[in-house]
Amino acid sequence: MTVVAHLKEKYLLLFFLAVGLSMHSSSFSQRPDYKKQVSNLYATVNHYFYIADSGFYREHAVKEKEDHPVSYLWPLCALIQAANEMERVWPDSNYMDQVYKVIEKYDDPAPPSPGYDSYPGSFKREDRYYDDNQWIGIAAMDAYFRNGKKRDLKMGKKIYAFMMTGYDSVAGGGIYWREGDMNTKNTCSNGPGIIVLMQLYQATHKKSYLKQALDIYNWTNRHLRSPEHLYYDNLNVKTGKIGKHQFSYNTGTMLQANVYLFEATKDSSYLREAEKVAASADSYFLGDGKFRDDYWFNAVLLRGLEHLYKHTGNNQHLRAFAKCTDQALANDKNTSGLMGKDKAVNLVGQGGMLEILARLAWLQQKGAI
């Protein structure tokens, strides 16, 4: 090769590298300021949903005919996790305190173990759902790893004790969906159950937590994992029929369960499985550039994707997720600044988007997206 040809090749290489870096930088710069977005949405949510006089939240921004006076517990499960993620972004804040105070209004000390009702007993006692309680436990344990507060570890242990009252050997194991309903065992009560157990294992190093987590993990994969490494909704233990709906939050919890098990055991097969789950989730739930499911369901998926990124450094799935978020911000924000143009705006969806935005803001700060 002549000197001229060599120089020409070198300059062409530098040119294409510069173009590539410019395009990469441009894609980053075109991202919304997620920190600003979450701050604005949080203020708007408090304005429309928080009832300062009673210390509760309402279910919808505009009261629906069938609404109860205050919200169910599920939206608070979304808000407590969002508050934790916001405290990561603003380390000197205390967003969780307000939500914690409201959640305690749903406390029910009834046997066999204290837990949280789906609706506050001061109005009307309703069912206790294992998954509702688990979401609270997960947020509390995430907070514990961040700030070391005994309050949060105590909450994690309380949720563990309650959720295990829903475990038995029918159909070979697994946790029921709600207390007193012995019909179905669901991915939404087993996936987050594994995470609570793994969080407690990380916090205490008690091997019994790991053993129980593995038991539930193996049961869930045996009965509810699809051939594509996504997850079905439930097993009817009376009939053996599988409810084959696939939701992003179920896949998200099992994705994160694999990452936790990799961290605990150093067995790389769990990390490989997590990567397969993430790839399928990316294709199925995010594949056309917009969210297939509601915002909170996707927030749970993002938890798993973020946790996986910690070990792989591959931000492909996070970028696909951010693209869907950007699409939603551009096309599904109403005139009040809340998420949802075409249907009644409920609190769980707003909580889900708050968590998504806070997580993306934190990742944006770290240069991950």
For residue 22, the model assigns a pLDDT of: 40
Here the tokens at position 347 are 């609190």
Q: What is the pTM of this model?
A: 0.92
For residue 29, the model assigns a pLDDT of: 52
CA–CA separation, 353 and 79 (whole Å): 10
Phi first, then psi, for residue 366 (nearest 5°) are -85, 0
For residue 21, the model assigns a pLDDT of: 38
Q: What confidence tens digit (pLDDT) does each residue in 64-98 have?
A: 888 999 999 999 999 999 999 999 999 999 999 99
The domains of the chain, with CATH numbers, are: 33-365 (1.50.10.20)
Residues of the chain with pLDDT under 70: 1-29
Locate tokens 């105070």: which residue? 101
For residue 130, the model assigns a pLDDT of: 98
**Over the Cα atoms of the chain, what is R_g?**
22
Q: What confidence tens digit (pLDDT) does each residue in 249-301 have?
A: 999 999 999 999 999 999 999 999 999 999 999 999 999 999 999 999 999 99
